[in-house]
Amino acid sequence: MDKTLPTTELSSALDMLSDEGSPVDWTVPADVLIEIGEPALLPLADVLASAGSPEVARRAMWALTRLEGVDPSSYVPLLRHPHAEVRSTALSPFRFMGEAVIGYADQLIPSLGDPEADVRQRAVWAFKAMGDAAVPVLRRLRQQPATGPRIRATALEALATIGGPGALGERDLAAWRRLTRIKRLTETAPERFHLCGSWYAVPSDDQAAVLAAFDLSDPEPVTLRTGASAWNHDSHNWGGKRPHERCARVFVSPALDGWTLVFGRSSQDRHRIEDAEDQEAARSEVVRERCADLSRRFGAAHWYGMSCGDGWTAWCIAEGGEVVRFYDAFEADEKGIVGVRHPAESGFLLPHETVDTGDALDSFTEELHSAGNQLDVEAFYRRYAQARRDLGIPDTCYAIDIAARLSINPSALGARTRITGSGVLALTACGRRYGHPTGALSM
Ligand SMILES: [Zn+2]
């Protein structure tokens, strides 16, 4: 790039980035701006603050967080920008600095008290990136009466996020429980669950019996949001610093339309799978035995699996002590299927099944390949789904479709879901021995 002409280049790249009608793909000017680096910082913040559409704002945010060779301290003034989207975007580079972000702790503290919830959330993530080093800083904020109440409340959330409830002192734990109670009361229409992993469903509201069945103890009431974030964190926590972080705790939901859902596994089940030579085989064995056992106690029991990454899905249905159906989309040979088609699968294609559509859908494939990123993806899928319906091709079912018919679909909880009791985070045998895992609890 010719460094002697940065001003012209900068302004034409900014113009192009903001022009949704431009024939040039927006990533081209974005790359130019990223390469320009520091001189593009404030102008991009202005584009973001005055963006006329969500698309232009998205482009500006994208470029703003990727500028090359910019010292993080250059983002500090933007943390006080009048526009909330600029403030929240400016926090991203800190979040991705890793533990070195501790050097900016003082500059980041005011963001914990930001009037916008989204900015506060991102500030929490930045403190989370500091890891254990953030704990004394946050504890100090909790103890200083002079700190504003909003900063102190967010510092508490950040402490729980970094250390889990187990890391809080007596007073903070009491405050965290109060905050949980308040948030649970307002959680009438729970947010969508991000489903990546597997869970059990039992037709019972007897939480104590469910805890006993999974050898769980020390239940700590939490919001659905906290429980879901703990599950997502633990099941993806491959780089944990302490042993048994992935098998320490389980989220047991409140009764949802009469069903109690269990996100996570007992230590015994987890270890049996992880120590096995053939983990796939061990997992389905554990799941089938567990479902059979639970269905003996509770009349029925299900297990569901979803992956947000690769399309994997699976389910197991047990009644009165017997597994009547087991299906694993990635093992859909004899060993991945038990039982005959379940009524809950009727009218659907199973994920491994395909139908011959002749040439009828070829035009969609062509369109997909030729349109590149000009494609309106949502409109495309709407038309595609309609064409499949016109041809009488059934939808493919996933575990959530089966769950919606048989128990409850956690990704479709809403105002009409009947919630009784409270969800809890409970400790497994490993959790009792090694303590709560650190990290990642949203409230
Ligand atoms: Zn363990």
* Interval between CA 217 and ligand 1 midpoint (Å): 15
Count of the separate structural domains present in the chain: 2
State pLDDT tens for residues 134-157.
888 988 888 877 677 888 888 888
* Interval between CA 241 and ligand 1 midpoint (Å): 13
* Interval between CA 240 and ligand 1 midpoint (Å): 12
- What is the predicted pLDDT for the residue at 1? 44
Query: By mean pLDDT, which of 110-114, 165-169, 218-222 is the weakest?
Result: 165-169
32 and 145 in a single domain? The answer is yes
310 and 401 in a single domain? The answer is yes
* Interval between CA 267 and ligand 1 midpoint (Å): 5
117 and 241 in a single domain? The answer is no
47 and 171 in a single domain? The answer is yes
62 and 151 in a single domain? The answer is yes
Segment 296-305 shows an average pLDDT of 97
Higher pLDDT, 163 or 426: 426
* Interval between CA 440 and ligand 1 midpoint (Å): 19
- Assess if residue 43 is contained within a domain: yes
- Assess if residue 41 is contained within a domain: yes
* Interval between CA 430 and ligand 1 midpoint (Å): 5
Boundary (domain end) residue, out of 164, 186, 208: 186
Confidence of residue 358 (pLDDT cuts 50, 70, 90): low
Segment 373-398 shows an average pLDDT of 79
- Assess if residue 385 is contained within a domain: no
* Interval between CA 103 and ligand 1 midpoint (Å): 34
Q: What is the CATH number of the domain that holds 36?
A: 1.25.10.10
Confidence of residue 352 (pLDDT cuts 50, 70, 90): confident
19 and 151 in a single domain? The answer is yes
Boundary (domain end) residue, out of 151, 186, 221: 186
* Interval between CA 223 and ligand 1 midpoint (Å): 25
- What is the predicted pLDDT for the residue at 393? 82
- What is the predicted pLDDT for the residue at 326? 95
* Interval between CA 244 and ligand 1 midpoint (Å): 4
Confidence of residue 289 (pLDDT cuts 50, 70, 90): very high
- What is the predicted pLDDT for the residue at 359? 72
- Assess if residue 138 is contained within a domain: yes
Query: Is 443 a residue whose pLDDT tops 80?
Result: no
- Assess if residue 380 is contained within a domain: no
* Interval between CA 264 and ligand 1 midpoint (Å): 12
Segment 375-404 shows an average pLDDT of 83
Tell me the residue type at 193.
Answer: F
172 and 203 in a single domain? The answer is no
* Interval between CA 234 and ligand 1 midpoint (Å): 12
* Interval between CA 219 and ligand 1 midpoint (Å): 18
180 and 202 in a single domain? The answer is no
- Assess if residue 368 is contained within a domain: no
The Cα–Cα gap between 421 and 427 comes to 18
112 and 245 in a single domain? The answer is no
Residue 396 · residue 351 · CB < 8 Å = yes
- Assess if residue 161 is contained within a domain: yes
216 and 348 in a single domain? The answer is yes
Residue 427 · residue 249 · CB < 8 Å = yes
Instruction: State which residues form the domain around 28.
Output: 6-186
* Interval between CA 248 and ligand 1 midpoint (Å): 6
- What is the predicted pLDDT for the residue at 360? 67
- Assess if residue 1 is contained within a domain: no
The Cα–Cα gap between 216 and 227 comes to 15
- In angstroms, the Cα distances linking 141 to 136, 153, 178, 257, 355 are 9, 10, 19, 41, 61
Higher pLDDT, 436 or 48: 48
Segment 378-396 shows an average pLDDT of 80
* Interval between CA 436 and ligand 1 midpoint (Å): 12
Residue 337 · residue 327 · CB < 8 Å = yes
* Interval between CA 276 and ligand 1 midpoint (Å): 14
Let me know how long the chain is.
443
Query: Is 190 a residue whose pLDDT tops 60?
Result: no
* Interval between CA 426 and ligand 1 midpoint (Å): 14
* Interval between CA 284 and ligand 1 midpoint (Å): 19
Boundary (domain end) residue, out of 186, 205, 229: 186
- What is the predicted pLDDT for the residue at 211? 97
Segment 366-380 shows an average pLDDT of 71
172 and 211 in a single domain? The answer is no
- What is the predicted pLDDT for the residue at 158? 85
46 and 69 in a single domain? The answer is yes
* Interval between CA 269 and ligand 1 midpoint (Å): 10
- What is the predicted pLDDT for the residue at 219? 93
* Interval between CA 293 and ligand 1 midpoint (Å): 22
* Interval between CA 271 and ligand 1 midpoint (Å): 6
| CA angle, residues 297, 300, 303, in degrees to nearest 5 | 110
